[in-house]
Structure 1
Amino acid sequence: MLNTMRKYAAGWVAQILLGLLVLSFAAWGIADVFTGVGNHSVARVGATDISSVNYDRAYRRELQAMSQRVGQQITPDQAKMLGIPNQVLGRLVTEAALDDQATNLGIGVSREMLIREIAQDPAFKGAGGTFDRNYFVSLLRNNGMTEDAYVLDRLAQEKRQQIAESISGGATAPEALAKALHAFQTEQRDIHYLVLPASSVGEIAAPNADELTAYYNDNKGNWRAPETRTISLIALGPEDVARPGDISDADAQKAYDADKARYTTPETRHVFQAVFTDETSAQTAADQLKAGESFESMLEGIGKKLSDSDLGVVTKDKLIDPKVAEAAFALPANGSSDVVMGSFGPVVVHVTDVVPATVTAFETVKDAIKKELSLSSAKADINVLRDSIEDARAGGGTLDEIATNNKLTVKKIVVDQTGNDAAGNPFADIPAQAQLLKDAFASDIGIDNAAIPTDDGGYVWFSITDINEAHDRALDEVKDKVIEAWKKQATTDKLVAKAKEAKDQLGKGQTLEAVATSLGLPVQTLDKQTRSSKPADSFSTEALKAAFAGPKGSAEVAPGAQDGEHIVLQVADVIETPYTPATDNAAVTQQLADAMQNDLLQQYVSELQRQLGVTVNQNVLQQIISAI
C-alpha cells in the first residue's frame, strides 16, 4: 500500500525517471567503500545519511511487494540472487543525493501546498470520494508509519520532484527522430522465399583420414572431456532404517481402523433432479412416475430434457442440498422419489446406476500400513544413527568402516559437475544431487565434508576418492562424433553455397519462380511483415531480419527455421506508413521523450553522486540483509 501511496504522491516525471535510475544504479553498483559513516547508517551521500532503520524498512517492504507480485514468499537467498538489496540501496542513494541537493539549493515546499497535495491524493479518498482523515491514519498505521513520518517523507518527495522536473521535465524528442522511429516500427514488407532443405545437397560422403584429422584438430575443444570426480557416498533415508517387520498386526489394524475412510471407495449414483415451481406440479409428476411413466417421458411432458436434470455420477457428499442427497441415496437403482422440499423448491429425484461402496480388506493393505508406520518412526531413528555416524567420523572412521558397522552401503559414482557420467550421459539416482555436486566439486581428496540433508529427512555423507582433470579426448575416442559433425558442417557449407548461387541468379535478373522451378521447390509468401512480426513456422527470425536489410527487389540468404535449412528470399514490396504526429504517433513521441528525460536525469544524478561522494557501511548493510 505504501508503494501505491508513493505512486500517487510523486509526479509522472519522478515516477518514470527515478524508477529507471534505480535499475541503472543497481547495475553500476557502488564503487566507494565505507569510510566515516556512522555505526547506525547504511550509507552517506554528501551530508545526508541513510539510516539502518530506513534501509531495513525499505528492504522488508520490497521483499513483501515482490512476494505479492510472484505469489510466493521470496526467501533472503532468492532476494540476493535477484539483486534486491542493491536495488533498494540504489533507490535510497538516489533519493539521498536529491535530498542533499535540495538542501544545498534551499528548495522548499509550502505548508499549504503540502496539505493540498496530501488532501488530493487518491490513495486517501474515502467512500465519499474525498479525503478521509480516519482512513488516512488507519492506512499509515497498517503500514507501520506514523503521520509525522509520512508527512516528512512526502515533503522530501515533493522536493525531489521539483528537481527532477526542473532538470528533464520539459525535454521533448526531435521530430526527425520521431519520424525515423515511426518508419522503423511501422514499415511493412511483402516477402517471397524458398526453403532449401539439407536433402537438396544430396548424401555427403565420410571424410578421408586427413580431412577428419584436420577437422578434429581445428575443433578439438568441442569434444573436450570435463573434469570428473569419483565420489564415495552413504545415503541414509527413512527406508534405510525402517523396520516394517517390527510393526505388529495389532498396531497395523489399529491404524487401519482409525483411517478406514482412506481404504473405502464411497458409493456412487447417477442422479437426476427435476425442479418444479410449486408443490402441486411436483406431486403430479411424482404420481406419474409411481404409475409407471418413465422419468424421461415425465420431463418431456413439462417441456424439459433429461440432460437438463442430470446431476452426474456423484458420491453423497457432492450433492449440495442435504435433503436431495438423503433422498437420492435412499432410492433403489432406477427408482424415483416422492416430492422433496429442497433448498431451491420442490423437486423429484431419480436414480439410475448404483455402484455400492467398497472397502479394501485389511489383509490387502496390511504390509503397506506397516511400511508407512515404520517410515514414520524411522525419522527419530535416523537422528540417533546420524549422531552415531558423526561420532565415528570424528574418531577417524572411514565411510567403508561406518557402512559396515551400520549395515549400510557405500555407493561410488564418477560424475562431472553437471551430473553426467564419463560418457556424457546423465547419472541416475544421485541423492541430494544439486547440493552434493556443488559440495563435491568444491571439496578435494582427503577433506572431511559436512553431511548433506535430504528432502525425505535423511542425510548423505561423501568423500572424494579421485579427480580426473578436464582433458582433450583422443580422436579414436570420439571418431564417430567427429565424423557426424564433419558431415553436418559439409552439408551446411554446400547448402549455403547453393543458397548463395540462387541469390546470385536473382541478382542477374532471373525471377524467384524460375529459380524455384530449377530447384524443384515451391515459392512461399509472407505479406505485410514488420520488424516485430512473429515469423511463420517455415520462416526464421534471422530471415525476417535479413528481409529488412535491403530495398525493394533485394535478395538475401539466411538460416532457416529448422536445423539444416537455409532460406533464399526476395523483398517483393515495401509499404511505408505516413507520419502523423498529432494522432497515432503520440505514443512514439512520448516514448522518446521519456527516454530522453531519463537520460538527462540519470546523467544529472550520476554527476551529483560523484560530486557529493557515496560511502557505504558494508558491515551494517550485511547485518541487516542477514537478519531477515
Structure 2
Amino acid sequence: MLQTIRDKTTGWLAIAIVAVLIVPFAFWGINYYFTGGTEPSVAKVNNADIKYNQFQRTYANYRQQMQAMLGNRVMGPADEELLKQQALDMLIDSELLNQVTRKIKLAASDDQVRETIKNIDVFKGEEGFSKEFYQRTVSMLGMPPAAYEQQMRLDMMSEQLQSAVVESEFVSRQAAEYAARLANQERNVTYAIIPAEKFIESIEVSDEQIEKFYKENTKLYIKPEQVRIAYISLSLDKLAEDVHIDEEDLRTYYEANKAKYDTDEQRQVTQILLKAEDISTEEIKEATRAEANKILERIRSGQSYADIARVYTANKDFDFTISEYGFLGRGILEPEVDEVVYSMQKDEISDVVQSKLGFHILALRDIKGGVMNTFENSHADVENDYRKEQAERQFFDLADQLATTAYEHPDTLEITAAETELSIEESEFFSPTGGVEGLTSNPKVIAASFSEDVLKDGHNSEVLELSETELAVLRVVEHVPSSRRPLEDVRDEIIHDIKFTTASGQAYELGQEVIADLEAGKEFATISEDRQIEWQEVTALKRADVSVNRAVLRTAFRLGRPQEEKPLLGGISLGTGDYAVIAVIAVNIPEPATIKDAEIENTQKQLQALRSAASWKQFYEEIRSAAKIRVFKDRISNTGF
C-alpha cells in the first residue's frame, strides 16, 4: 500500500518542499543543531549521529500525512514498519547530502536564504513578505526561525549539488527528433490469438492429478481465519431520533434562537425559457413569444411539464430549457423575472415574461422566510436543530463513559453497556478482508478485531471513531483459526485450475508450432487452414491504438524491424490463458519533416528529465555505498503511536 510514498516525499528541491508545506521539513530535528550528545541516536552516518528526536519527528510527519491520505483506512503493522524505514532513509539521505555539500564547500549566503524565504507565498501578506506571518508560521511548525533558516541553507546547498550533477546531462535535438520519429512509427501487423478454451473439453483430469495438485498447492485452498465480535455503538443520529419532543420545549427553543430562523424571504420556482436574446431579429422574437404563449396554454390546460419538455427538447426550431430552482433570494434571477416572481402567490403560474434572455413562464412552488418567519413555518427546522443539540450533549457524555468503562473493564462489555444504557450487538463471522457491508466492512473495525490486544489478549478495543457522528467499542467473542478447506469442497475448483493450466500450455505449444511454420516459410492462409486459427491484419498500427489487445500491442512494438521483407515473429501468453502469435510485416518511421518542432522540444525535455534522474540516482547510490552507515534497529522499533 505504501510502496510509492518514498517517491512522493523525498524531493531535494527545498523551495518546492517548503512552499507547499506538505512535509513541514520532515527531516528538521531542532536538536540536531541546538543540543548536545546526550540524546540517543537511531543511526550513525559516517561520523554524524541521527538523533532519536529527529527520527520521531520525521516518522510522525510521515504517519500524519499517510493517515490523512488513507482516510478511514487503517495502517497495519507492516505499513508502520515501512513508514519507519522511509523516515530513517529520509534522514540518512539528508545527512549524506549535507556532508557532501560541506566537503566540496558549497554555500548559500545569508542574502540568498533571506530572498528565498521572502519568495515563499505562505509567508506573504497583502503587501508582500510579512515578517509576522513568517514568524507565526514557523512557530506553528515548532521551530525557532534560526533552525528554519539553517535547514533552508542546507537544502539550498543540496539543490546546488543536484543541479551540478543533473545539468551535466545533455540531449541533442537530433537525438530528440529521432526519438520522436520512433514514437510516431506505424507498423503493419498480422496476429492470431489461439484460445485456450478450444482445448478445455478434451482435457480429462484423474483423481491422482486432483490429489497431487491439492497437496502441491495447499496455500490456494486455505480458508482465512474469522472472528465474530460483540460491540457497542454510539450514534449521534440514533440519539437524535430518540430525543423526546415536547411542543413547549420546541417553542422555548425557537424563541431563544429566533434570529436563526428569521431569514429573508426566498421563493422556489419552476421556469420555462425560450431563448431569444437581444441580438435576435424582431421576427424571431415575435415567433418565440407566440410559441411561449402556446406553451402557457398547454400548462394551463393541465399538460405536464415532462410532456412539454419531451416535445420541445426534440423541437430544433426553438432553444428550450426548463429549470427547477431551489429557494432563491431576491436579485438572483433576471430583474424582470425577479419582479414577477416576488409578486406571485404560491402555486400561481405567470403570464409570459420577456427579459434580455428571451421569454419566461414561471410557476411559484413555495415561499419561506420573510413574513413567513413563524414558529409553525419553521417547525421542521426547529425540531431538527433541537434534536441535534440535545443529542450532541448526550453524545459527548456517553462517549466519555464509553471510553472510560471499556478501558477500566477490558475483559467485558457488560459493565460498559450497563453504565451507558447502550445495547450490545453481535456480528456475523468475517475475515481480515472484512464483511460485505455495515460495521464489519469498516477498516477500523477490521484492524481492531484482528489486532493482538483484542484478538490474542482478549481485551476490549479502544473507542473507534467510525465517522464524525458514530463511535464503537468491540471485543472478539469467537475466533476460528485459518484452516485448509477439505478436498471435496474444492474439487471442482481444482479441476478447473488443472484444465486451465493444461489448456494454456497446449495453446502455448500450438503457438510455438505456428511460429515454426512461419519461420519455415509457410503462408498465413495455409497455416490458418491447417491449424484452424484466424489471422487479424492491422495496418498503420500506432503505440496508442486501443483496438488491439494491450499485450499484443506491446509485443508488436518490442519486436524489431523486419529485414528483407521477411516478417519478424514473436508470441506472448495472455492473462486469459490464450496465446498470441504476432508477425510484424513492415515498419514505417515518419520523415523528419513531418515531426513538429513542439513535439521535438517536448521529447527533448522528457529525455533530459529521464537522463537527469538516472544520473542523480547513480550519483546518490555511489555516495551512499561509500558511506559508513550504522542503524540501531532496537531504538527504531520502540517508536510508535
TM-score band (shorter)? 0.5 to 0.7
Secondary structure of 2:438 counterpart: coil
Gaps of 5+ in 2: 1-10, 18-24, 28-34, 121-126, 295-315, 369-374
Q: Which residue of 1 aligns with 2:480?
A: 468
Percent identical = 13
Q: Is 1:330 matched up with 2:343?
A: yes
Q: Which residue of 2 aligns with 1:556?
A: 570
Q: Which residue of 2 aligns with 1:500?
A: 512
Say if 1:268 and 1:355, in contact at 8 Å, map to a contact too: yes
Q: TM-score, normalised by structure 1?
A: 0.62
Of the candidates 426, 430, 438, which is equivalent to residue 415 of structure 1?
Answer: 430
Q: Which residue of 1 aligns with 2:300?
A: none
Say if 1:108 and 1:159, in contact at 8 Å, map to a contact too: yes
The letter for the 2-side match of 1:223 is Y
Of the candidates 434, 437, 442, which is equivalent to residue 433 of structure 1?
Answer: 442
Say if 2:461 and 2:475, in contact at 8 Å, map to a contact too: no
Cα distance in 2 between the residues matched to 1:231 and 1:147: 51
Cα distance in 1 between the residues matched to 2:184 and 2:387: 69
Q: Taking CA–CA contacts closer than 8 Å with sequence separation of 6 or more, which of the two structures ends up with the larger relative contact order?
A: 1
Q: Deviations over 1:568-598 (max 9, x none)?
A: 2112124568999x98885587457535642
Cα distance in 1 between the residues matched to 2:388 and 2:146: 58
Say if 1:45 and 1:96, in contact at 8 Å, map to a contact too: no
Q: Which residue of 2 aligns with 1:598?
A: 616
Cα distance in 1 between the residues matched to 2:43 and 2:576: 53
Say if 1:41 and 1:49, in contact at 8 Å, map to a contact too: yes
The letter for the 1-side match of 2:351 is G
Cα distance in 2 between the residues matched to 1:137 and 1:260: 41
Secondary structure of 2:430 counterpart: strand
The size of the alignment, in residue pairs, is 546
Cα distance in 2 between the residues matched to 1:170 and 1:388: 63
Cα distance in 2 between the residues matched to 1:518 and 1:213: 37
Say if 2:214 and 2:487, in contact at 8 Å, map to a contact too: yes
Secondary structure of 2:429 counterpart: strand
Distance 1:185 1:375, change over 3 A: same
Cα distance in 2 between the residues matched to 1:404 and 1:502: 76
Secondary structure of 1:335 counterpart: coil
Q: CA deviation at 1:267?
A: 3.5
Q: CA deviation at 1:200?
A: 3.1
Q: Which residue of 2 aligns with 1:540?
A: 550
Say if 1:252 and 1:369, in contact at 8 Å, map to a contact too: yes
Q: Is 1:100 matched up with 2:109?
A: no
Q: Deviations over 1:161-190 (max 9, x none)?
A: 776677776566999x99999998787643
Q: Which residue of 2 aligns with 1:479?
A: 491
Q: Which residue of 1 aligns with 2:221?
A: 223
Of the candidates 493, 500, 503, which is equivalent to residue 488 of structure 1?
Answer: 500
Q: CA deviation at 1:326?
A: 1.1
Q: Which residue of 1 aligns with 2:313?
A: none
Q: CA deviation at 1:223?
A: 1.0
Cα distance in 2 between the residues matched to 1:198 and 1:369: 67
Q: Which has the higher mean CA deviation after the structures are superposed, 325-334 or 506-515?
A: 325-334
Q: CA deviation at 1:225?
A: 1.4
Q: Which residue of 2 aligns with 1:19?
A: none
Q: Which residue of 2 aligns with 1:567?
A: 580
Say if 2:412 and 2:460, in contact at 8 Å, map to a contact too: no
Q: CA deviation at 1:194?
A: 1.0
The letter for the 2-side match of 1:471 is S
Cα distance in 2 between the residues matched to 1:621 and 1:208: 52
Q: Deviations over 1:526-580 (max 9, x none)?
A: 45567xx3464442326623763566324333224x7243212112124568999
Q: CA deviation at 1:376?
A: 5.5
Q: CA deviation at 1:411?
A: 1.0
Q: Is 1:450 matched up with 2:461?
A: yes
Gaps of 5+ in 1: 10-21, 26-34, 126-133, 299-304, 340-345, 420-425
Q: CA deviation at 1:400?
A: 5.8
Cα distance in 2 between the residues matched to 1:140 and 1:384: 39
Cα distance in 2 between the residues matched to 1:8 and 1:435: 34
Say if 2:221 and 2:490, in contact at 8 Å, map to a contact too: yes
Say if 2:182 and 2:589, in contact at 8 Å, map to a contact too: no
User: Which has the greater radius of gyration?
Assistant: 1
The letter for the 1-side match of 2:442 is Q
Secondary structure of 1:478 counterpart: helix
The letter for the 2-side match of 1:464 is V
Secondary structure of 1:430 counterpart: helix
Distance 1:211 1:398, change over 3 A: same
The letter for the 2-side match of 1:511 is E
Cα distance in 2 between the residues matched to 1:58 and 1:486: 50
Cα distance in 1 between the residues matched to 2:363 and 2:517: 77
Secondary structure of 1:569 counterpart: strand
Say if 1:399 and 1:410, in contact at 8 Å, map to a contact too: no
Say if 2:293 and 2:352, in contact at 8 Å, map to a contact too: no
The letter for the 1-side match of 2:216 is D
Q: Is 1:190 matched up with 2:188?
A: yes
> What is the aligned-residue RMSD (CA, Å)?
6.5
